[in-house]
Structure 1
Amino acid sequence: MASSFSASWLRGDPRALEFLSDRFRHGAARAEAVAAAASRPMDPAIHDVLVARNARLAPSPARQRNQELLARPGTTAVVTGQQVGLFLGPLFTVYKAASAIVAARALAEETGRPCVPVFWLQTEDHDLPEIDHCFVPRSAGGPLRMALEHPDAATSRVPVAHRHLGPGITHALAALRAELSGNPHAEEHLALLERSYRPEATLADAFAEVLSALFADEGLVFLDPRDPRLAPFAAPIHRRAIEEAAPICSKLAERGHALAQASFSEQVHIRPGSPLNFFSPDGLDGARYRLDPSTTPGTWSLVGHPQGASVTTAELLSWLEREPLRFTTSALLRPILQDSWLPTAAYVGGPGEIAYFAQLAPLYAHVGLPMPLIVPRARFRVIDDRVRRLLDKLGLSPDDANAPRDELLARLAVRDAGEALETPEAVEARLLSTFSSELARLGERMAAFDPTLAQAISRTDKTVRRGVSRLVARYGRSMTQRDQTTLERVERLRAWLAPDGAPQERIYSLPYYASRLGSHAFTRLVLESCEPFSGNLKDLKP
């Protein structure tokens, strides 16, 4: 089984460090990365587009200052980004933005060079079902799911930059208001969402408006790669991706093989000979398709096209010259585009991004760009008053909620019953211990004069083990159902901290926490709790 690259990397596993350096941990390496980024000033024309895009947001003196800094030679950037999910998507979106802000401050203080936090709005993807919904916890029952309910969400291949929220947003906001209206800061946060999330707005615009409001005082700057004015600056990257697809894929495939040899898997699959970009044959806001080399030289198949269409290299390059916005990046090409436009000293990423940066060293080398520092985003678990009360009543720690449900219930049953009950594991071990040793002794005595008895002994062993396993499972279920109050509390605790067994930050969205604590109070708590260049899981205890 392949290991988790990001977990191994954060632990400092030498196998992982062979593929991605942990330079972010070392002050001298951070200074080198900042110096390298400072030598690559931002193109004034790209800066003009960035300023125009940010002018659409509510005014922020701090953002204005940071934009001015980006125009000056020697300024660097700490970049992060995320798909533009409904109501900001999972909580880790806020944690990413805060991590970039805190890392930029730290690098500026360490090096004396100005460093600006930049949020890359990932609007080129077409994975609408990944971002058209969000969840908030409820005091009873499972999470509340809100979605835009676009009828074509599952089949749409249009970049999400061109998707409007539509009438579904009205129903989503109503469901959110009905669930959260009793919380002390609900009105303030819901008003912020309702100003931005309007049927006629795009997912990207609403996302940027809310996130920029939360971090207005910190001057977070936004960049949208689907801005039509940026398309000509992306064209050279797309041209290289097409013209040099074979050598690029060959190098990335070698990297993937080396990762596999080290027991890691590729985060992004490499398709042999395929460019790392997508093409929209039907227009700037049309469906996007990956390109695969066809059997005819100089021709590419449009993967997933309903008519099985193809396009020649000459046609692609002609479109690239005339309408470069028809081209979009894949996950592996996006960092190259980002670091061609920005003086990136560091990129703040989550576990998945860390894993695909492990694949990217050959591509950075191929295009002649230095790879920035890769910095793990902050990871948090919110322990609010409701969670604290449950933990106190159950006598558990937050980490206990990560245990499998039945295991946790059995442990509580044993603890509460004192010595009267054994754990299912202890019962199974005790029942099998004597049986196994006696059966083995019988087998040794009989082997000399009846070798055929070995098969019967083996069958008996398997039969008894299956029977004991069924008995112990029933015993465990009886223990878990013994105390209905405890059962309900454990279910609620796991729903708050580990919904469906996943980290809280990957499932739940901001609205619940902002409505309980206040939008800016929660943001401030996250910022104050961020440790630059750490990546350790911390508990937030408002």
Structure 2
Amino acid sequence: MDIDCLPIAKTGYFSKLICDYIAKDAKLKPLYNRFPDVEGFKGQLEEKGKHFSQVQRNVLHASMLKQYKNTDTSEGTATNIELLKEKNTFTIVTGHQLNLFTGPLYFLYKIISTINLTTQLKKEYPNSNFVPVYWMATEDHDFDEINYFNFKGLKFQWNKEASGAVGHLTTEGLDEVFTLFAKSIGDSKNANVLKQLFEEAYLKHNNLTDATRYLANEIFKDYGLVIVDGDDIDLKKSLVPYMKKDIFEQTAFDKVSETIKEIEQISTDYPVQVNPREINYFYLKEGIRERFIESKGAFVVNDTNISFTKEELIDEMDTHPERFSPNVIARPLYQEVILPNLCYIGGGGEIAYWLELKTAFEALNVPFPILLVRNSALIISGKQADKLERMNISKSDIFLKQNSLINKKIREISNIDIDFSPQKKLLEEQFKEMYALAERTDKSFIGAVKAQEVKQKKGLDALEKRLLQAQKKKLKDHVVRMTELQNEIFPNQSLQERQSNFSVFYLEYGEDLVPMLFNALEPLNLSFTVITQD
């Protein structure tokens, strides 16, 4: 296995905001607490230690024991759950939707980044304990975002009428997905492991929450991963004071709105990731997850006949906190209230919206975590690596937009020079003399000289393009091979990790896949990892 690291900014797949954050651009410093490096964790340990009580630890520990009651818990995970009671134990968290069969490959990258960081921090700070946590987004209601996965150009989709929190959905209908998937992957040893994993997770569990817990636990239980479901009445009791601040005082709305204005002033290249609402909570009951709207002194649940007076809503929060579900603005706060957390690991889009939240956390006296962009990686097989070498395509070249890659390589391999830069330079020299002549004789002539220069440069550009097109036709076979290879490595001309399911690579590497990724991914190395197999 060969590992290369490319600067994130050179890949062309990350926003300017994330590239600037990774580069520690000074103008972004007000948006985060501490930078994700070893030194930054020292201060975070001290701050979080002062703000997380033994009572909070006991509630968390008791909830985890309940949540794991029917799960085959590994020794490592059981130990980590017990460690949560200790005052010197802290968590590193990543979160993800309940995507079918893990969804995109980066599901693995998120969790592996999290586990690897806890291992590294234990070496740096041996007097503390670090527990890796996967937060299941069981309360999301965006079923269309999670009901499929991609496998070698095929889309396996769970067709089902769905409403409310996805974690509550029954697994009915997934037997049909299993049958189609099983037929598509063959009967090799690795294929049979995948079939068993899918069957055990989705056909032997009654709801999507339990199925996802089983799946993530099976893949990562040997690494001590703790899986947290926030849809938990005891955990939500701790959130009630913050719910009231949000709903009745609009604390989050005011603070996040101010921060968004500041971000827009920093740079117009930083688009707003999410906008806060006046109320950042949904009402959650069987088949319902709808947002609250304040209207004429009442608190109405959107698209329903449910409404509350202020007093009724306070009573509902105190009596049934499990019926209140945080949205994308409030969920990060919930996480930090119930966990002794130091760091959140997420993708670029997630980190972008976390950067809007710091002042809201400060207003509520909750420590703001370190934000770490998860590891991103590209897996190149030995066969693909051989093709790249034969075509003299470098690891950085393969990230070019397809047209740019083709143009660059055609220029390199062509037996004629398709770069007219020398001719353009000579043309500019000739026109310098004409500009000088116009200055000495008739200055009104300068405009005509300029127009003629532009016309002749455009002519050279047109000739260069025609010549390049002619060479593309002449070298058509090479263009086709380059295009096919890049499309194979970048499905749908997107990052592999955002398109392909882990099963594609498990078929090839089997039980070596996860250890290979653990060895390759370094969470505090803020680069893009290219993994080339021998």
TM-score range, shorter chain: 0.7 to 0.9
Tell me the distance in 1 between the aligned counterparts of 2:399 and 2:109: 21
Say whether 1:144 aligns with 2:154: yes
For the residue of structure 1 that corresponds to 2:132, the secondary structure is strand
Change in CA separation of 1:55 and 1:468 when aligned onto 2, cut-off 3 Å: farther
Distance 1:458 1:223, change over 3 A: same
Task: State the alpha-carbon separation in 2 of the partners of residues 201 and 513 from structure 1.
Answer: 28
Q: Secondary structure at the match of 1:79?
A: strand
Q: Which residue of 1 aligns with 2:170?
A: 164
Which residue of structure 2 lines up, in the alignment, with residue 218 of structure 1? Answer: 223
The CA distance in 2 between the partners of 1:312 and 1:526, in whole Å, is 53
User: Bigger CA drift: 104-113 or 444-453?
Assistant: 444-453
Contact 2:91 2:339 in 1 (8 A): yes
Give the deviation of 1:436 after TM superposition. 6.8
Cα separation, 1, equivalents of 2:417 and 2:48: 61
| Residue among 8, 33, 56 paired with 2:20 | 8
Match of 1:274 in 2: 278
Could you state the TM-score of these two structures normalised by the residue count of structure 1?
Answer: 0.84
Deviations 1:377-427 (A, max 9, x none): 22221122232122122121222111122222222223223xx3334xx24
Which consecutive unaligned segments of at least 5 residues does structure 1 have? 138-142
Matched length: 514
> Which blocks of at least 5 consecutive residues in structure 2 are unaligned?
1-13
Residue of structure 2 in register with 1:495 after alignment: 487
* Counterpart amino acid of residue 44 in structure 1: N
Code of the aligned partner of 1:37: K
Give the superposition deviation at 1:64: 1.0
Return closer, same or farther for 1:60/1:222 CA change in 2, 3 Å cut-off.
same
Q: Indicate how the Cα distance of structure 1 residues 135 and 477 shifts in structure 2: closer, same or farther if over 3 A, else same.
A: farther
User: In the alignment, what sits opposite 2:41?
Assistant: 30
Q: Report the CA distance between 1:57 and its aligned residue.
A: 2.6
**Corresponding residue for residue 209 of structure 1:** 214
- Residue 540 (structure 1) aligned to one of 522, 527, 531: 531
Counterpart of 2:214, as a letter, is E
Indicate if the aligned counterparts of 2:61 and 2:82 stay in contact, CA closer than 8 A: no
Matched, 1:76 2:73: no
Aligned equivalent of 1:508: 500
* TM-fit CA distance, 1:344: 0.7
1:414/1:53 CA distance change after superposition, 3 Å: same
**What is the correspondence of 1:259-408 to structure 2 with a 5 Å cutoff?**
259-263=263-267, 265=270, 267-271=272-276, 274-280=278-284, 283-289=285-291, 291-294=292-295, 296=296, 298-299=297-298, 305=303, 312-408=309-405
Match of residue 483, structure 1, among 475, 481, 485: 475
Report deviation, 1:198: 2.6
Q: What does residue 416 of structure 2 align with?
A: 421
The alpha carbon displacement at 1:469 in A equals: 5.3
> Contact 2:65–2:81 (CA<8 Å) still a contact in 1?
yes
Instruction: Tell me: CA distance 1:266–1:300, structure 2 relative to 1, closer, same or farther (3 Å).
Output: farther
Please give the alpha-carbon distance, in whole angstroms, between the structure 2 residues aligned to 1:58 and 1:77: 21
Tell me the CA shift for residue 493 of structure 1.
2.4
- CA pair 440-315 structure 1, distance change in 2 beyond 3 A: farther
Match of 2:192 among 187, 192, 198: 187
Offset of residue 301 of structure 1: 6.3
> Does the 8 Å contact 2:260/2:272 carry over to 1?
no
- 2:141 corresponds in structure 1 to 126
Q: Provide the C-alpha distance between the structure 2 equivalents of 1:81 and 1:453, rounded to a whole number of angstroms.
A: 63
Alignment match of 1:251 (pick from 252, 255, 261): 255
Q: Distance in 1 between matches of 2:390 and 2:189?
A: 25
Give the AA of the match of 1:285: G
Inter-partner Cα distance in structure 2 for 1:269 and 1:214: 32
Distance (whole Å) between structure 2 residues aligned to residue 541 and residue 204 of structure 1: 35
Q: Which residue of 2 aligns with 1:86?
A: 100
Cα 1:316–1:31 change in 2 (3 A) is: same
* 2:203 partner SS: coil
Shift in Å, 1:460: 7.0
Q: What are the Cα deviations for residues 274-298 of structure 1, in whole angstroms up to 9, with x where unaligned?
A: 1222234xx3431422x4555x3x3
Percentage identity across aligned positions? Answer: 20
Q: Deviations over 1:41-81 (max 9, x none)?
A: 44423322222212333331111111111123332111111
Deviations 1:413-468 (A, max 9, x none): 23223xx3334xx24x56766667777877887797795995x8787777777666
Q: Which secondary structure state, in structure 1, belongs to the residue aligned with residue 36 of structure 2?
A: helix
- In the TM superposition, residue 96 of structure 1 has moved relative to its aligned partner by 1.1
Specify whether residues 375 and 318 from structure 1 end up closer, same or farther in structure 2 by C-alpha distance, changes over 3 A only.
same
In 2, Cα distance between the equivalents of 1:440 and 1:203? 72
| Aligned-pair CA distance for 1:241 | 1.4
**What secondary structure sits across from 2:76 in the alignment?**
helix
More off after superposition, 488-497 vs 364-373: 488-497
Partner residue in 2 for 1:140? none
Counterpart of 1:363, as a letter, is A
**Equivalent residue in structure 2 for 1:106, among 96, 120, 124:** 120
Distance 1:487 1:240 in 2: 60
- In 2, Cα distance between equivalents of 1:403 and 1:65: 46
Secondary structure of the structure 2 residue equivalent to 1:369: coil
Q: Pick closer, same or farther for the CA change 1:478–1:164 going to 2, 3 Å.
A: farther
Cα offset, 1:527, TM superposition: 1.4
> Cα distance 1:316–1:486, how it changes in 2: closer, same or farther (>3 A)?
farther
1:521 counterpart = 2:532: no
Do 1:376 and 1:534's aligned partners in 2 also have CA atoms closer than 8 Å? no
Contact 1:266 1:356 in 2 (8 A): no
- What is the aligned partner in structure 2 of residue 116 from structure 1? 131
Tell me, in whole angstroms, the C-alpha distance in 1 between the residues paired with 2:166 and 2:526.
Answer: 30
Q: 1:236 to 1:479 in 2, by over 3 A?
A: farther
TM-score normalised to structure 2 length = 0.85
Aligned position for 2:29: 17
Determine the C-alpha separation between the residues in 2 that align with 1:316 and 1:251.
23
Q: Is the partner of 2:91 in helix, strand or coil?
A: strand
Q: CA RMSD in A?
A: 3.2
Q: Distance in 1 between matches of 2:359 and 2:175?
A: 46
1:232 aligns with 2:212: no
Counterpart amino acid of residue 191 in structure 1: Q
In the TM superposition, residue 159 of structure 1 has moved relative to its aligned partner by: 2.0
